[in-house]
Amino acid sequence: MKTALVTGASTGIGKQFVYSLAEKGYDVVLVSRTKEKLDQIATDVQNQFGVNTYVIPKDLSEEWAAQEVYNEVEAQNLFIDLLVNNAGAGTTGELLETSNERNHQQVMLNVNAVVNMTQLFLRKMVEKGRGEIINVASMASFQPIPYMSIYAATKAFILSFTEGLHEEYKEKGIHIMAVCPGNTETEFFNTAPDSIKVGKMRSSKQVVETTFNAISKRKSVTIDGKRNFMTAQLPRLLPRKFISQVSASLMKKSMKK
């Protein structure tokens, strides 16, 4: 029996990963801030699929929270075959409109937690010569987005970080991949500006299915949806300054609504 660990497991794409992995027969470790939600999902997954679940309530924006998650997994004597770094958050507006504390938490969650979780769980994977890590990036990874500057920058980091690690560890039996969703029917997009909600929304299930398909092909990066794939090519074809200006204009209009 294999075991997967999913961060941000209480809603959206993370929640769908939990159900889809359990359906595939994985035991699942659920990590998120809200214990009540995690307990409900864990119980439902157990009843539906008969797998083991482990709940670890943890705010990964806090320093060294990843180490605490790792310690709890070790205490359960579990080996994580598949790590899904899904937890993330974003803010909208000018940099100075958001508090230092909130910006710090965003970077800690979107970047630091991913790095720490990856490094902690990767070591045993290398020792065993097997394992998979999925880092949830974003369509925002491919271009700057004024008025969501921190979020886009953190997701660009995740994409670059993952592509680098993919090459470092592919000869050691480890598959590391980034998945880049676009507009998805999740709580994140319920409060996102209209300017980034362009085109038809994809479902969390579609994102997860895209991910599993890409895993089977040993890809380093996968983009969910054909339209999103085409959109991701634009920064390669057009000047970055032009992309930034258009994004800024669209963001300004949507924030005025």
* Alpha-helix runs per DSSP H in the chain: 12-23, 35-49, 65-75, 100-107, 113-128, 149-169, 187-190, 204-216, 226-232, 234-237, 240-256
Question: pLDDT at position 195, please?
Answer: 44
Average pLDDT, the chain: 90
- CA distance readout (Å), 15 to 49, 196, 221: 15, 23, 21
Q: What is the largest CA-CA distance in the chain?
A: 53
User: Can you tell me the distance from the alpha carbon of 79 to that of 1, in angstroms, rounded to the nearest whole number?
Assistant: 10
Looking at residue 170, what is its pLDDT? 97
CA torsion, points 17, 20, 21, 26, in degrees to nearest 10? 150
| Residue of 29 and 231 predicted with greater confidence | 29
* Domain CATH code at residue 17: 3.40.50.720
* pLDDT in the model for residue 255: 60
- Would you place residue 228 in the very low, low, confident or very high pLDDT band (cuts 50, 70, 90)? confident
Contact predicate 208/13, CB 8 Å: yes
For residues 131 and 187, what is the distance between their CA atoms, to the nearest angstrom? 30
- What is the average pLDDT across 86-114? 95
Look at residue 193 and tell me whether its pLDDT is greater than 60.
no
3 state SS for 75-126: HCCCCCCEEEECCCCCCCCCHHHCCHHHHHHHHHHHHHHHHHHHHHHHHHHH
User: How many Cα atoms sit within 13 Å of 8 on the Cβ side?
Assistant: 25
State pLDDT tens for residues 138-160: 999 988 888 899 999 999 999 99
> Total structural domains in the chain?
1
Q: Could you list the residue range(s) of the whole structural domain that residue 31 is in?
A: 3-256
Residue positions annotated with a catalytic role: 151
Q: Give the C-alpha separation, 179 to 163, whole Å.
A: 11
Q: What is the per-residue pLDDT across 197-212, written as a single tens digit (0 to 9) for each?
A: 455 788 999 999 999 9
| Token reading at 199 | 């085109």
